[in-house]
Structure 1
Amino acid sequence: MVKTTPQLKKITVKPTKPRLLRVGAYARVSTEHDRQLSSIAAQVSHYSRLIQSTPGWEYAGVFIDEGITGTTTKKREGFNDLMNAARSGQIDVILTKSISRFARNTLDLLQGVRELKSLGVAVKFERENIDTSTADGELLLTLLGSFAQEESRSISQNVKWGIRKKYADGQLHSRQPYGYRYSEGELHIIDHEATVVKRIFNEFLAGISPEKTAARLNSEGIKPRYTNKFQGKRLRTILENEVYIGNASLQKTYRPQIANHCTKPNQGELPRFIVENSHEPIIDHQTFNAVQIELAKRRKHGRAASPGISTNAFTSHIVCSVCGKKYHRRTKKRGNRSRKIWWCETATKGKGNPCRAPQLPETILKTICLDLLGLTDWDDTQILTKLDKITVFPNRYLTFTLTNQNEPVIVDLAQWRKPSDCHRNNQA
């Protein structure tokens, strides 16, 4: 057997190219003032150049928050986008200016850093010269994060003191209600917004609900200042705001805790101030007072005080004699046919029918009302001026309380006739 001689061959291995480090950055300013917006633009420019010019680094984006506080992360969209990018493995290193830019709440700071560390993502804080990938990084973060939180608390206290001092001196704060802009301590009218404000007041007095006015404004392409569309709830706050008659109510709301951004109405916890004729009005006093009276009326009588698409004269005016709840309007369908009925709220909420409340067909109710009131055609507004309340009894008797009569009129729904005087006395 011939023995073969081993042959040695040299294998040339190409060196593997090191993977680029994916580096992102985070920047934030707490207000939308021009000076701070200029600052954040400079930060974005700085980080973009730094990352793209550093060998071995791959640009993973600069995430920003404008006009957002650092005491909480819930509403910081840029920060949350950054965290989601890290969770999906798109970032290896995050650069940020300082701890206070990243978070002023120690708990949020440590939770964020620890989650990033578990994902293999390091955070580098330039001002404090801290790198969370090092052993002593988290200890320093805990200490400095506490200092940042205390600094935020101190700044917040000073700002609140300044605002309350201005209120006590009768000076306006820099809030800008719709229709006005704040400049040099004064409110100035914005003409095109003032036109919308006047329309909101006038349509409300014409019987149009804020929700319907909001829908009209949206359909016409008219937009509010900060959001995409008007909402009825927002229009109601405009209707109640005395700022539109030239008065300023100061310290109507407050924040009970320094790091808590939940605003609560001031119900005597702090002094309140009213400054009359503090600026040019958009609405005259007569119109404003008429709106407040109408608002009070509608609160008392419910949505039916202003009949609309989903309401009519019966809304909030039919009451169950057993539980005292209002009757609600419902649609009953059978095949291709449907009809409107009214039923006690207790039954419509899925709680059974413990009141034994009868269902009331709307067509019959309308016919009875027209007969009692001596009318030929149905008109919600006209009915509202004459009908005060309908009380429904389990035995299918109804009492109609009319505005021009002292005694209620009793109607037997089953027979649709007025009961005898004897039965009326027994029912009472």
Structure 2
Amino acid sequence: MVNFTNNKCTIYCRVSSDRDEQANSINNQTSGLIDYAEQNNMIIADSGVFCRRNQESEPFRGYIDEGFSGAQSAKYRRAFQQMIFDSKMGLFKTILTKSVARFGRNVKDMLITIDELEKQGVGVWFEDIKAYSLNGADKIRIQLFATLAEEESRAKSDSIQWAKKQAARKGIWAGREPYGYNIEKGKLVVDEYEKNIVIMIFDLYLKKGYGVSKIAKVLEAELKVPGKRGGRWTGSHVAGILQNSVYTGHTTLHRTRKSNINLGLIEKIPESDQIKLDDESLRIITDETFELAEIERNKRPKMKDCEKGIDTRYSNAHLFSNLIYCSNCGGSMRKKVQKTTRTTHHYYYCRNHEIYGNDICKYRNLQREEDLLEWVKEEFRTFIADTDDHEFNFNLLLETKYESEDFDTLIKEAKTKLLEVENEKEVNFRLLSKQIIDDEDFGARNTAIKLEIEKLKSEINRYSNINKEIELFHTEYKNFIKSLSEINLDNLDNMTLRKFISGISIATMWIPGEGDEEQTIRSIHWRFMEWDQLDIINDHVKKFVLDKQPK
């Protein structure tokens, strides 16, 4: 029996949430430990802090962590960390806690902490098992119960994961609701006010060509739109909305799970085991709008700052922003506005020449926006009318992507490889059982095997449904031709230009047979569907000519 008379002590309590029943648990823990201290004539130290889940804290006689899982590393429990610090200051000699599970559910962290405290001459009393960490005979029992607490935590996590998966199958939303929705009876429902904001975000991104930071600024500073739960709008919030397929009514649940709650490990669920739901009542935007946003996000170009060797930021501030570049140095063209008493002129010139001089680029390549715009319009008329060229490009793409492949053979090869990889799972388990590899190696190998299996299954599924993919490809081509025919050349904007043009190059060079003077040459690099027109030809040549040459 440990004699605690006149021993200066403190108490440690923890609950994993801030709900009312957990608050009662804190009261029960603290009152029980205070009673124990008084019954054993212990002196309770005045030090302590009550750390709440909302990051607030207040002075307290003892150390309380509210809303923190015991499976988390101790470094995330602020009151716990303060207690360890205060122990080193000699503010107490004993820590009273209700149980091993309250102190922590991570065996490794707990044992390390107990050893550190012992070096300071501080012991931990576990009331439920009547064990004291400074008593050598109790150490094995503490370790045993710590192991049981960790296993209980893992089992509870698995149970919660299973329950979440079952709920997901019924359309129950497990996390916080995305912007644009509320949660009613566990399911998402559209918030009409926020719905209009989501539509506005996609319109600003696609029709106005705004970047995510600029959209956030409009929402936050200009329109004063409140964020979800009163938060501020940031570029990352806007980007998250633009990439979330829930706005098309398509939701994917059960995408990740905690493979080891005690180590904080999260693994990706194979796509075949994810839960995919379609609910038209959740639709805010069309599939086409979402796909256009994805294409736009991938294709927004960057120009090169040759002196610094870095890419310049995307911009859509002007008609030809991030489209026109100097072919002599590869740098972007900067716009300049020149006002006179009679009129205003808009010019573009090589940024690198203007900033760094002839050492970087010898040519200014000055372009008047009015002249450039008329030239672009004429080039557009030619491009729109060249239906034979469009058909040629489409057939090249079709042949490169599909007709060159023997999909029956690819399916057979993928299935053979899948069997081999699935056998590796059994091999991996045998290596573990024979202790040739440890748990960490087993986990890493197992994760790699699962990812490879998922990749092969995805390939087999794609190859098996290739006819549907080809049909969709034809539809995309028809939509491209339709949108091309609907262009209003008298009302061009940066967004429209970037949909069909990947770049406009301006170069100054000497042309053989055209005299002794250097000439300025303009050239448009057209975008056919989502591909650069030159890349279509290069990819076809590489696949059917270069790759088939003997090596």
**Does the TM-score normalized on the shorter chain lie above 0.5?**
yes
Q: RMSD between aligned alpha carbons?
A: 4.8
The answer for the alignment partner of 1:276 in structure 2 is 278
Task: Give the AA of the match of 1:238.
Answer: I
Q: How far is the alpha carbon of 1:109 from its aligned partner?
A: 0.7
Deviation per residue, 1:270-319 (Å, 9 max, x gap): 512222228x53x5343x6413312322212347997357x995548759
Q: Distance in 2 between matches of 1:177 and 1:147?
A: 35
Q: Contact 1:247–1:274 at 8 Å: present in 2 too?
A: yes
Name the CA shift for 1:203/1:58 in 2 (closer, same or farther; >3 Å). same
1:255 aligns with 2:264: no
Q: How far is the alpha carbon of 1:110 from its aligned partner?
A: 0.6
The answer for the alignment partner of 1:401 in structure 2 is 524
- 1:225 is paired with a residue whose SS is helix
Q: Distance in 1 between matches of 2:333 and 2:128?
A: 64
Q: Distance in 1 between matches of 2:319 and 2:129?
A: 66
Q: Contact 1:96–1:102 at 8 Å: present in 2 too?
A: yes
Deviation per residue, 1:22-70 (Å, 9 max, x gap): 5433322234444334433554566678779976322222333333322
Q: Distance in 2 between matches of 1:297 and 1:290?
A: 10
Q: How far is the alpha carbon of 1:175 from its aligned partner?
A: 1.9
1:156 aligns with 2:157: yes
Q: Contact 1:390–1:398 at 8 Å: present in 2 too?
A: no
Task: Give the AA of the match of 2:216.
Answer: A
Q: Contact 1:341–1:360 at 8 Å: present in 2 too?
A: no
Q: Contact 1:249–1:274 at 8 Å: present in 2 too?
A: yes
Q: Distance in 2 between matches of 1:404 and 1:57?
A: 75
Name the CA shift for 1:146/1:382 in 2 (closer, same or farther; >3 Å). closer
Name the CA shift for 1:386/1:149 in 2 (closer, same or farther; >3 Å). closer
Task: Give the AA of the match of 2:256.
Answer: T
Deviation per residue, 1:145-202 (Å, 9 max, x gap): 11111111222222222333344x4342432323444454323456665565455444
Task: Give the AA of the match of 1:301.
Answer: R
The answer for the alignment partner of 2:445 in structure 1 is none
Q: Distance in 2 between matches of 1:149 and 1:157?
A: 12
The answer for the alignment partner of 2:548 in structure 1 is none
Q: Distance in 2 between matches of 1:315 and 1:38?
A: 60
Q: Contact 2:118–2:134 at 8 Å: present in 1 too?
A: yes
Between the aligned residues of both structures, percent identity stands at 22
Name the CA shift for 1:201/1:374 in 2 (closer, same or farther; >3 Å). closer
The answer for the alignment partner of 1:214 in structure 2 is 216
Q: Contact 1:170–1:275 at 8 Å: present in 2 too?
A: no
- 1:255 is paired with a residue whose SS is strand
Name the CA shift for 1:187/1:142 in 2 (closer, same or farther; >3 Å). same
- 1:187 is paired with a residue whose SS is strand
- 1:236 is paired with a residue whose SS is helix
For residues 241-252 of structure 1, the aligned pairs below 5 Å read 241-252=244-255
Q: Distance in 2 between matches of 1:312 and 1:211?
A: 19
The answer for the alignment partner of 2:175 in structure 1 is 175
TM-score normalised to structure 2 length: 0.52
Name the CA shift for 1:235/1:372 in 2 (closer, same or farther; >3 Å). closer
Q: Contact 1:307–1:313 at 8 Å: present in 2 too?
A: no
Q: Contact 2:173–2:188 at 8 Å: present in 1 too?
A: no
Q: Distance in 2 between matches of 1:284 and 1:124?
A: 57
Name the CA shift for 1:144/1:245 in 2 (closer, same or farther; >3 Å). same
Q: How far is the alpha carbon of 1:78 from its aligned partner?
A: 3.0
The answer for the alignment partner of 2:489 in structure 1 is none
The answer for the alignment partner of 2:118 in structure 1 is 117
Q: Contact 1:70–1:104 at 8 Å: present in 2 too?
A: yes
- 1:298 is paired with a residue whose SS is helix
- 2:112 is paired with a residue whose SS is helix
Gaps of 5+ in 1: 1-18, 331-338, 344-356, 409-428
Counterpart among 237, 242, 245 of residue 240 in structure 2: 237
For residues 278-297 of structure 1, the aligned pairs below 5 Å read 280-281=281-282, 283-286=283-286, 289-297=288-296
TM-score normalised to structure 1 length: 0.65
Task: Give the AA of the match of 1:60.
Answer: S
Q: How far is the alpha carbon of 1:395 from its aligned partner?
A: 9.2
- 1:160 is paired with a residue whose SS is helix
For residues 55-70 of structure 1, the aligned pairs below 5 Å read 56-61=43-48, 62-70=62-70
Q: Contact 1:327–1:342 at 8 Å: present in 2 too?
A: yes
The answer for the alignment partner of 1:334 in structure 2 is none
Q: Report the count of equivalent residues.
A: 357
Q: Contact 1:255–1:264 at 8 Å: present in 2 too?
A: yes
The answer for the alignment partner of 2:140 in structure 1 is 139
Task: Give the AA of the match of 2:176.
Answer: Q
The answer for the alignment partner of 1:78 in structure 2 is 79
Q: Contact 2:8–2:42 at 8 Å: present in 1 too?
A: no
Bigger drift between 71-80 and 51-60 goes to: 51-60
**Larger fraction in helix:** 2
Q: Distance in 1 between matches of 2:333 and 2:135?
A: 67
Q: Distance in 2 between matches of 1:276 and 1:121?
A: 58
Q: Distance in 2 between matches of 1:404 and 1:161?
A: 47
Name the CA shift for 1:255/1:56 in 2 (closer, same or farther; >3 Å). closer
For residues 346-385 of structure 1, the aligned pairs below 5 Å read 359=360, 364=364, 367=367, 371-374=371-374, 381=495, 384=498
Gaps of 5+ in 2: 49-61, 304-312, 335-348, 377-491, 511-519, 535-551
